[in-house]
Each structure stands twice: as structure tokens, then as C-alpha cells.
Amino acid sequence: MKTLIVTDNEFLYKNFLRIIRKVNLEFESFDFRYSNNNSALKIKYERSDDFKPVNVKEELECIINTYELVISLHCKQLFPKKLVENIRCINIHPGYNPYNRGWFPQVFSILNDLPAGVTIHEMDEHLDHGQIIVQKKIDISSWDTSESVYKRILEVELELIEKHLSNILEKKYKAFTPKFEGNVNYKSDFNDLCHLDLNKSTTLKEAINLLRALSHGIYKNAYFIDEEGNKIWVKVELEKD
Ligand code: 0FX
């Protein structure tokens, strides 16, 4: 059986390789691809025979004819209906379904207090939607930022992959349907959050939550426009005593 792993996340790609070795699976039964519009990975892996670009939509027929299982490991392409209906497709998702499905789940969990975590699920045509194979919740503390929660999410993703990969490959699991549809956030919702309205009245608690939800290492997310029209980037650092 041949499995296609599509990922746009180099950290997860490298760790997936490590896990394959650790749990004694055959490298030959996996092919690894990244999205063809991922220019950073394209430059880095230009000469690689093991990690190549793919356009899931354009190469649909070939994928359907070659693989028995496709795993999206933070792949930024939407899988077409025909793909998910013809092959078992699994999503390794950095959120606790069905809460805050879609874009950057932990950012929204900091804001709306809905559970954060990791979900591995069978994919259907809807975004981050389908029968859940396994999931694990992550607690968010008052001193967390998007970055600190995301770091824990990655750790839990690797933990669940290592624990469940063999069973997932052999389809030895009982998946379940979530009891409700939950909510979805899009990239545009994140972009809207980033533009801070200086005239908005809010509580300090809400303001701190918004800023820590948008503070993530080197990323320039939150900003305001000052009276001279300058764009000013904002991030916060929190430290527990
Ligand atoms: O790969 P990923 O961790 O996840 C995203 C979606 O959130 C997820 O629902 C989807 N399944 C997956 C395919 O794509 O995203 P990333 O590596 O681009 O970003 C990781 C974190 O970094 C993100 O959760 C928040 C932070 N970040 C990222 C960017 C690009 C920012 O704070 N600002 C940014 O501009």
C-alpha cells in the first residue's frame, strides 16, 4: 500500500520521517509532497527526489490511481470532493474539532475560549470536517500567546502521530462523528483581527487577549494606523511570575 503525505510544514515533515524510522515503517511506502505554490520549500528542496511539489487539483487522477491513502499534514491546499470521495484522506489538524475549524485555531481559542488541541480525522469535502479518529485537548493559560500554544500543539501532533500512525495506515480504528458542526474561521477572519481599531472601547482583559492571540514570534500580525498614516506593528510578551 502506498501513502501520499502532503505537507507545507518542514518541521512536521522532518519529524514524520523520524517517526517512520522510530516505529519501523517502510520509507518506500510513503511519498512526500509539498504544495506547488510553496515558494520557500520549492527553493529549499529544488533538487530533492524525496520531497517534491504537487498540485492536488491538477494531479487528481494520478493521485487517485497511485495511492490508497493521502495524509494532509498541514497541507495548505483544499482537497477536492472527488479526491476525498475516491481515496481515504486523513487530516492532521492543529485544532480541537469541531471547535474553531479552519485557519490558525489556537488564535481563535485564545479569543473565544473554545477548546484548543489536535485532531486527526478522516476528511470529507468540508473544511477540517469528517469523522474523528483521535484528538487531544490543550489547556490555554492566561500567560499564553499564539506561539506558546502552537508549540504545544506541534508536540501533541507528533505524540499522536507516533502513537496512532500504524493503526491509521492499517485502518485499525473506530472513527466517530462529532455531535455538532462547530464553527469555522477563515484567513480573512484572522486578517480582520490584525487591524486594531484604536477608537474601539473594550475591557483590558479583551485587549490583552486580542494582543496575545496575535503575538507569534517573528510574525507581524496586529497593527494600527497612527495619525500620520504610519502602520505600527504590535505584539506582547507575557511572563508568569
Ligand atoms: O501549517 P499551519 O500550522 O496551519 C494552517 C492552518 O491553521 C490549519 O488549519 C491548516 N490545516 C494548515 C494547512 O495551515 O500554519 P503556518 O505554519 O502558516 O502557521 C503556524 C502558526 O504561525 C499559526 O498557527 C499562527 C502563526 N502565524 C503564521 C503566519 C503565516 C502567524 O501568527 N502569522 C502569520 O502570518
Tens of pLDDT, residues 38-77? 999 999 999 999 999 999 999 999 999 999 999 999 999 9
Q: What's the mean pLDDT in 134-144? A: 98
| Ligand 1: residue whose CA is nearest its atom 8 | 103
DSSP 73-93: ES--SPPPHHHHHHSEEEEEE
Work out the mean pLDDT of the chain and round it to a whole number.
97
Last residue of a domain, one of 144, 159, 185: 185
Residues 135 and 221 in one domain: no
Query: What pLDDT is recorded for position 166?
Result: 97
Same domain, 224 and 117: no
Residue nearest to atom 30 of ligand 1 (CA): 219
Residue 197 lies in a domain: yes
The predicted structure's pLDDT at residue 183: 98
The confidence score (pLDDT) of residue 1 equals 75
- 213 falls within a domain: yes
* 8 Å CB contact between 116 and 135: no
Domain CATH number, residue 140: 3.40.50.170
> Ligand 1: does its nearest atom lie under 6 Å from the Cβ of 151?
no
Residues 27 and 134 in one domain: yes
Q: Is the CB of 104 under 6 A from ligand 1?
A: yes
Determine whether the shortest distance from the Cβ of 182 to ligand 1 is under 6 A: no
Pair (145, 195) in one structural domain: no
Residues 84 and 202 both lie in one domain: no
Residue 50 domain-assigned (yes or no): yes
Q: What is the spatial distance between Cα 102 and Cα 48, in angstroms, rounded to a whole number?
A: 30
Structural domain includes residue 129: yes
174, pLDDT greater than 80: yes
Which atom of ligand 1 is found nearest the CA of 95?
9
Q: For residue 76, how far is its CA from the centre of ligand 1 (angstroms)?
A: 9
Backbone angles phi, psi at 194, to 5 degrees: -65, -30
Kindly report the CA angle at 190 between 139 and 53, in degrees rounded to 5?
A: 95
Q: Answer yes or no: do 94 and 143 share one domain.
A: yes
Cell numbers at 176, concatenated? 466517530
Q: Which atom of ligand 1 is nearest to the CA of 91?
A: 11
State the distance from the centre of ligand 1 to the C-alpha of 48, rounded, in angstroms.
24
Residues 134 and 195 occupy one common structural domain: no
Mean pLDDT (whole number) for 216-232: 97
94 CB within 6 A, ligand 1: yes
**Distance between Cα 227 and ligand 1 center (Å):** 31
* 201 C-alpha to ligand 1 centroid (Å): 29
Judged against a pLDDT cut of 80, whether residue 103 lies above it is answered with: yes
Residue-range definition of the domain harbouring residue 222: 187-234
Last residue of a domain, one of 185, 202, 218: 185
Strands 51-54 and 69-73: unpaired
Q: How far is CA 24 from the centre of its chain?
A: 26
Q: Do 98 and 159 belong together in one domain? A: yes
One domain for residues 94 and 208: no
**Domains held by the chain: number:** 2
Verify that 27 and 116 share a domain, yes or no. Answer: yes
Q: Has 129 been annotated as catalytic?
A: no
Residue with cell 530533492: 48
Flag whether the ipTM exceeds 0.90: yes
Q: Indicate whether 214 and 167 sit together in one domain.
A: no
pLDDT at 19 over 80: yes
Q: How far is the CA of 58 from the centre of ligand 1 (A)?
A: 24
- Residue 103 and residue 23 share a domain: yes
| Residue 225 Rama label (left phi>0; alpha psi -120 to 50; beta) | beta
Residue 56 within a domain: yes
Mean pLDDT for 97-106 is 98
Ligand 1 pocket, 9 CB below 6 A? yes
